[in-house]
Amino acid sequence: MKILMVLTSHDTLGDTGRKTGFWLEELAAPYYVFKDAGAEVVLASPKGGQPPLDPKSDAPDAQTAATVRFNEDADALAALAATEKLKDVVDGSFDAVFYPGGHGPLWDLAEDADSIRLVEQTFSAGKPLAAVCHGPAVFRHARGALGEPLVKDKRVTAFSDEEEEAVGLTDVVPFSLEEALKKNGARYERGALWQPYVVTDGRLVTGQNPASSEAAAQDVLRLLR
């Protein structure tokens, strides 16, 4: 069982002067769900190498058992520091693909040609394809076999407009993720703010926020089994 996790390479939060990147819990929790199940996990990002970490996700109040474990895991940190270049791993050799969020994907992975190709080929191959929080931005331009939006008529969730407003970034992000999914014909759903909420439609798995990342990874495992 070989699973690819794709992280953002984008580190700038619009023109605010603040930093962003991937959200630590959304990497760490699924990473250990997969590793503890015996999976080989490969990390990739558009630029390769060390991807940017959203500093807020490494703050004391954002820590979970998984993030603490990750930060104390030399092998995990080494893998993170040397992510593969995304263009080099779009080869169909993975059993599943998982996109953690953080705000970074809104700027790079949503528009990245290699990411779009990976999403489309994973979906068309009938393999589990998962994204959490802002990770579902990768579906913005992805198309299915008939050329229609990949998420059209699919049940999905993602970071909600209400959550975006709660963190004060509605006017900073390049687009509303919730509205982008709806515009593409998705049947968008959401749960309560900051609470775990995962939607699985066929082999497409989406999670609403950081708290949803572990459950989303568990759904991927169930699909693989």
Q: How far apart are CA 182 and CA 101, in angstroms?
A: 19
Determine how many CB atoms are found less than 10 A away from the CB of residue 198. Answer: 22
**Long-range Cβ contacts of 198-203 (<8 Å, 24+ apart):** 198/157, 199/155, 199/156, 199/157, 201/154, 201/155, 201/156, 202/154, 203/123, 203/126, 203/127, 203/128, 203/129
Q: Which domains can be identified in the chain, with CATH numbers?
A: 2-224 (3.40.50.880)
Pinpoint the alpha helices (H) of the chain: 24-36, 65-71, 74-81, 113-124, 161-166, 177-183, 213-224
Q: For 98-152, write each residue's pLDDT tens digit.
A: 999 999 999 999 999 999 999 999 999 999 999 999 999 999 999 998 899 999 9
The structure's pTM equals 0.97
**For residues 66-84, average pLDDT:** 98
Give the pLDDT confidence score for residue 145 in this predicted structure. 83
Q: Is the dihedral of CA 180, 183, 184, 185 positive or negative?
A: positive
Maximal C-alpha separation, the chain: 46
The mean pLDDT value for 28-55 works out to: 98
